[in-house]
Structure 1
Amino acid sequence: MSADASGQRLLVMPDDGGGAVVELIDQARQQLLIKQFKLQSPAVEQALQRAIGRGVQVRVMLNPHTSGGDRWNDEAFALLQSWGVAVQWTSESFPVTHEKSMVIDSTAVLIATFNLADKYFNETRDYGVVSHDPAVVEQVIAGFEADWHRQFFVPRLDVGLVWSSAHSRGQMARVIDRATKTLWIQHPKFVDAVILERVVSARARGVKVRLLCGGKHGLSDWDVYDTFSSLRVMELFGVKIRRQKRPKLHAKLILIDGKAAMTGSMNIDRSAFDVRRELGIEVDAPAVIQRLIATFESDWREAKKYSAPDPLDPTYHESGELPPDPHFVHN
């Protein structure tokens, strides 16, 4: 996991595991800023306790509830509060804060698709990019401070970060539009007509498109309609689609031409683009791209060809699916 010359490195779950996150926390000597959708990891909590013990200033923002109303973070919130950590709920400006970020000593930042929870360290395919780029770190700190102090935040558009609800749809569309040879997509949810049209247009101009999805697993009943329909439309245009089961697909990744990528917290979903707080990052560091390619290719080999069933015919919706897991939902 050595840093690329560009200052970026990649974490891959479950390959690297929670220990990679604990290692980042243990490096902190001055400050940790953490904004998370879900915190459910005793190892991470213990690492935060160690950081407090050595005098690190720790501030944490946790999302209070999911879109379905589940309150996953109450226990972690109370625990951190009991240790004297400055902890508060995320900004009420967003119905959900799905961002998964951590700033270490104002010199490095982790931008991830995974939650700080053991399930995502051990069971799911997920990615995290560690960046040491001062402009990136400064911008994530600015976003943290704005949400912490309940202030309006206007992100810069020139540092390679992808913010919701600011400009993430347009940025993702532009990334897809740049593809000239290959477009590899690893996403669980497809609920946005703009991105669907961009993928179809890429295929129509001759780009070879591979798509890894998770089938129905983890989708809400209302997201099945759009996701299955989008998958069927893309298949009609020649997109090659496979369903990934192991590790469970929770990643959000777009790879173009084997040279650049976008990853982060946002699903391909209208609410992720328009109303939630989300954060992603564009990467082109060679070492990061090569590991993303190798991981995608490995997952592609293990996955099976998939044709989404008719969304209006639930008879076949569960065919070949993993058992339902109430704690694995694509918000």
Structure 2
Amino acid sequence: MTPSPSHQQRLLVMPDDGAQAVVELIDQAREQLLLKQFKLQSREVEEALRRARERGVRVRVMLNPHTSGGDRWNDEAYALLQSWQIEVAWTSEAFPVTHEKSLVVDRELALISTFNLADKYFTQTRDYGVVTYAPEVVAQVIAGFEADWHRQFFEPDLGVGLVWSSFHSRGQMARIVDAATTTLWIQHPKYVDAVILERIIAARERGVKVRVLCGGKHGVSDWDIYDTFSSLRLMGRFGVKVRRQKHLKLHAKLILIDGIAAQTGSMNIDRSAFDLRRELGIESDAPDVVARLKATFEADWAQAAKYRAPDPLDPSLHEEGELPPDPHFVHN
């Protein structure tokens, strides 16, 4: 775990902090803004970008053109930004989906988040974002942005505490899980990777107390529900405590180890996230960040119900106790 002193990081929690927390970051910019987003559907954020452009900030935005299911959520935002003379481009064709959610302000700070910049994620979902001020970390986020902007290959520095896809993040996530010695708390919606599943079970077998907060079926595609339900059932058989979060939609991606370190970011526990997509996460052992993550997880755990996933081969049971379906809330 790369050291991250508390003065170099702080945490945003959604929906607690809301859109204003992101707007305040954008309003700080005086020279440059770099934004790479899977989904931009927030007029508050868009207006903040417009204000930045009007005060002379160079604003560059990359938006993912379509989801894995073909939805083109960002066409309206793309056209709006263009009309304001903001530099906007689609994300790199090297990745079928760019799921990264990052913002860089003036080469001074970077936000790496699990939430999209869309109203739903500011008001209805549990999500996290880490604001980092560490120069070497900010420089890497900028380097990744520039590589994708110019359609160039990017070889990240894996020693600064960032978690990159494609190619690297499975191993980075496995290393975090393997490091747990006493407790392992996981808050993720999807479980679609056998390598990470085996690592979680191995942690339980070596005596680690493992808690998993999932979202049940809500937002998980019919394609991914087989692996997710089966993985949750397997973890339960090995003594992992599993609960389903329902008071908020679960969109967060969080792993907490031993109460002292954490990993969060855009990537789900998902083969596509590890192997195909552009994703970005961040590690933290900053005391203030970890303390707030722990407190939020504990509060969510207390409000969640014990959960045994249904048989994935029996669709008649899949909707039991679930939140109402939302076609615009799908874990890519």
TM-score by length of 2: 0.98
Aligned positions of 1:272-287 closer than 5 A:
272-287=273-288
Tell me the distance in 2 between the aligned counterparts of 1:312 and 1:242.
Answer: 21
* Equivalence for 2:111: 110
Tell whether 2:43 aligns with 1:42: yes
* Equivalence for 2:315: 314
Tell me the distance in 2 between the aligned counterparts of 1:168 and 1:5.
Answer: 24
Q: Check whether the contact 1:4–1:287 (CA below 8 A) recurs between aligned residues.
A: no
* 1:91-121 CA distance string (max 9 Å, x none): 0000000000000000100000000000000
User: Which ranges in structure 1 are unaligned for 5 or more consecutive residues?
Assistant: none
Aligned positions of 1:136-285 closer than 5 A:
136-285=137-286
* Equivalence for 1:133: 134
AA of the residue aligned to 2:308: S
* Equivalence for 1:8: 9
Q: Displacement of 1:4 after TM fit?
A: 6.4
* 1:119-159 CA distance string (max 9 Å, x none): 00000000000000000000000000000000000000100
| 2:199 counterpart SS class | helix
Q: Displacement of 1:6 after TM fit?
A: 3.6
Q: Displacement of 1:166 after TM fit?
A: 2.8
| 1:34 counterpart SS class | strand
User: What is the aligned-residue identity percentage?
Assistant: 78
AA of the residue aligned to 2:147: A
AA of the residue aligned to 2:281: G
AA of the residue aligned to 2:206: R
AA of the residue aligned to 1:302: Q
AA of the residue aligned to 1:142: A
* Equivalence for 1:60: 61
Tell whether 2:30 aligns with 1:29: yes
AA of the residue aligned to 1:196: L
- Equivalences, count: 329
* 1:257-314 CA distance string (max 9 Å, x none): 0000000000000000000000000000000000000000000000000000000011
Q: Check whether the contact 1:125–1:250 (CA below 8 A) recurs between aligned residues.
A: yes
* 1:159-178 CA distance string (max 9 Å, x none): 00000003100000000000
Q: Displacement of 1:246 after TM fit?
A: 1.6
TM-score by length of 1: 0.99
Q: Check whether the contact 2:5–2:285 (CA below 8 A) recurs between aligned residues.
A: no
AA of the residue aligned to 2:194: A
Tell me the distance in 2 between the aligned counterparts of 1:4 and 1:39.
Answer: 31
Tell whether 2:88 aligns with 1:87: yes
Tell me the distance in 2 between the aligned counterparts of 1:142 and 1:318.
Answer: 43
User: Which ranges in structure 2 are unaligned for 5 or more consecutive residues?
Assistant: none
Tell me the distance in 2 between the aligned counterparts of 1:113 and 1:4.
Answer: 21
AA of the residue aligned to 1:156: D
Q: Displacement of 1:315 after TM fit?
A: 1.3
Tell me the distance in 1 between the aligned counterparts of 2:299 and 2:98.
Answer: 31
Q: Displacement of 1:5 after TM fit?
A: 3.5
Tell me the distance in 2 between the aligned counterparts of 1:110 and 1:59.
Answer: 15
AA of the residue aligned to 1:297: E
* 1:75-106 CA distance string (max 9 Å, x none): 00000001111100000000000000000000
Q: Displacement of 1:44 after TM fit?
A: 0.3
AA of the residue aligned to 2:69: G
Which portions of structure 1, spanning 4 or more consecutive aligned residues, are displaced by more than 6 angstroms?
none
Q: Check whether the contact 1:155–1:166 (CA below 8 A) recurs between aligned residues.
A: no
